[in-house]
Structure 1
Amino acid sequence: MDKHPGPQESTATAQRLNDAITRLRARLRTESGQHATGLSATQLGVLAGVVREGPVTAARLASTEHVSGQAIAQSLAVLKAAGLVHSEPDPKDGRKKLMSADASATELIDKLLTGRAAFLARAIDQVVVPQERKDMDKAIELLERLADADLNEAVI
């Protein structure tokens, strides 16, 4: 007989996972020096999107960040004022603007990502014993699958 966890067990597991991810993300923000940038997590997420995807439209950023166009516009206004991004007309469609990152934005994002990775590497070395490394790889694989899940169900 195949034994599947019941809804209550899945809900409890989901809550534990959410709590662990929340705590880890907060720790990564602290360890990377993110707080010292003066930018919010949302603004830094948008900036990372411009660095990664740019030149990119605000609509594309809104889609990839899963936020509204208004939220993207607010973040982009702050990033423009800070000189981290700039816009130029799309050569294929002059009605659209393409957002690009300043070199200083790329350096900032690289520094933050390097700080996060360095913290995680130290934590893994100190906390995860060699016999658990395969478990760690499996956990990462499972997290990647959860992140990629396409549930095609209406959420109520």
Structure 2
Amino acid sequence: MPAEQIAADLGALLLRGNRAHLYDRLTEGVVGVDSTTYPVLSGLARAGPATASRLADLIGLDRTVATRYATRLEQAGLVTRAADADDARATRLSLTPEGRQAVQTMRTALESILAEALSTSEPEEIETFARVLQRLLDALVPAPPGAPLRR
């Protein structure tokens, strides 16, 4: 049954070890980013400036872990902190220009990895896969208000 196969494949893709392997490939040669800090950097790129608490919720990490990884990214010059205008007790994390460049480098790497993985497929198959994947994402993960994490 196709739905069963898709469920199994998505489950395998989402396994922590498989994600870490992919993150290792994406971050290769990107100074200051590794498989553990990648979700924080990528999450900020998708969500925009956010507090550590909000970012942690969006990317599925504990707030203290997200804060620790953000500190590492800040030390690498990829993330900056500023007072949160909405909450004087919080700080807002943002990407620096170097952080945006790192994200762009990793997105380009992901596109190359996907192009290589799909290189034996026909262009029509790839276009159909992209459309179906988008519909699946729309059906399974409706975008929450104020959280443009899709792109």
SS in 2 for 1:121: helix
Residues in 2 aligned to 1:50 and 1:98: alpha-carbon distance in whole angstroms: 10
Rounded Cα–Cα distance in structure 2 between residues aligned with 1:54 and 1:81: 19
Q: TM-score, normalised by structure 1?
A: 0.69
Structure with greater helix share of residues: 1
- List aligned pairs for 1:6-45, cutoff 5 A: 10=4, 14-19=7-12, 28-29=22-23, 32=26, 34-37=27-30, 39-45=33-39
Correspondence for 2:146: none
Identity of matched residues, %: 24
Which residue of the other structure, out of 120, 126, 131, is the alignment partner of 1:127?
Answer: 120
Match of 1:154 in 2: none
Gaps of 5+ in 1: 150-156
Residue equivalent to 2:85: 91
Higher mean C-alpha deviation, range 46-55 or range 127-136: 127-136
Q: Give, in whole Å, the separation in 2 of the partners of 1:13 and 1:122.
A: 21
Q: 1:67 to 1:20 in 2, by over 3 A?
A: closer
Tell me the equivalent position of 2:147. Answer: none
Structure with max Cα Rg: 1
Q: Secondary structure at the match of 2:50?
A: coil
SS of 1:39's equivalent in the other structure is coil
**Cα offset, 1:98, TM superposition:** 0.9
CA contact (8 A) 1:28 1:119 kept: no
**Match for residue 129 of structure 2?**
136
Cα root mean square deviation, aligned: 3.1
Q: Which amino acid aligns with 1:94?
A: A
CA 1:128/1:49 → structure 2, altered by over 3 Å: closer, same or farther? same
Deviations 1:24-52 (A, max 9, x none): 856754654x1333533231110122233
The change in CA–CA distance for 1:51 and 1:142 in structure 2 (over 3 A counts) is: closer
2:89 partner SS? coil
- The match for 1:153 is none
Q: 5+ residue gaps in structure 2?
A: 143-151
Q: Structure 1 or 2: larger strand share?
A: 2
Deviating above 3 A after TM superposition, structure 1's stretches of 4 or more consecutive aligned residues are 12-17, 20-32
